[in-house]
Amino acid sequence: MTVMTQLILPNDTNHLGDLMGGTLMRWMDMAGAMAAMRHTNTPVVTAAVDHVSFQKGIPLGSMVVLETFVTRVFRTSLEVFIEVYKEDLDGDRVKCNEAFLTFVALDEATRKPIPAPDVLPETPRQKELFDGALRRRELRLVMAGRMKPEEAGDLRKLFGN
Ligand SMILES: CC(C)(COP(=O)(O)OP(=O)(O)OC[C@H]1O[C@@H](n2cnc3c(N)ncnc32)[C@H](O)[C@@H]1OP(=O)(O)O)[C@@H](O)C(=O)NCCC(=O)NCCS
């Protein structure tokens, strides 16, 4: 798990004084990569970023807290869940968005994908995300053209065929 905190400074904002979406996506990528690397103890690359929506603007001077953990390891790839909160000076937090990112573990010398160690979910929330991970994986592989829809068994079960 990785928790990354950033203070929003003028260079991070758009012309309305809110955090730029692209800056937040960069921080999400970094926080997710660190959670993945702490799990695999290898370098990782980002293979996929699932749907990201921006539900609330985050103003200049706020703190942004990105909480990330590995939900499931497939073989060489692993899914990381990221939740983004804005935090004010009283320490009050409001959740702003969340996303799933997929990283691939690489061998440091050859830079080829290598198997990553399994993750064991412990809390009910971790178990829920672990259980849903196969479905999300199938969806992203179908969307990326790396899996045929008819091969996506877990996804098809969800739609009842
Ligand atoms: C991701 C990457 C390592 C995959 O390499 P590859 O030669 O296709 O290797 P493989 O086919 O063995 O795939 C490796 C794993 O990545 C997964 N993967 C590849 N593309 C994926 C995608 N779009 N979404 C989800 N997972 C993906 C595969 O399912 C496989 O997972 P598994 O071993 O757990 O089953 C390669 O495409 C790459 O280096 N991409 C660029 C990464 C990068 O530069 N990221 C920064 C963005 S600019």
Q: Enter the pTM of the model.
A: 0.95
What is the percent of the chain where pLDDT is above 90?
A: 88
Residue of minimum CA distance from atom 26 in ligand 1? 47
Cα 94 to ligand 1 centre (Å): 33
Which tens digits make up the pLDDT trace of 123-138?
A: 999 999 999 999 999 9
Cα 122 to ligand 1 centre (Å): 27
Residue 132's pLDDT is: 96
DSSP track, 91-131: --EEEEEEEEEEEEEB-TTT--B---------SHHHHHHHH
Q: Is 141's C-beta closer than 6 angstroms to any atom of ligand 1?
A: yes
Integer Cα distance of 67 and 123 in angstroms: 16
Q: Which atom of ligand 1 is nearest to the CA of 112?
A: 3
Q: Which helix (H) or strand (E) holds 81?
A: strand 77-87
Integer Cα distance of 77 and 22 in angstroms: 24
Cα distances (angstroms) measured from residue 1 to each of 50, 72, 136: 19, 12, 20
Q: Which atom of ligand 1 is nearest to the CA of 46?
A: 45
Instruction: Tell me if 130 sits within 8 A of 72, measured CB to CB.
Output: yes
Which tens digits make up the pLDDT trace of 80-117?
A: 999 999 998 899 999 999 999 999 999 999 999 999 99
Residue 21's pLDDT is: 95
Which tens digits make up the pLDDT trace of 48-85?
A: 999 998 888 899 999 999 999 999 999 999 999 999 99
Residue 161's pLDDT is: 64
Cα 67 to ligand 1 centre (Å): 24
Residue 66 structure tokens: 């990105």
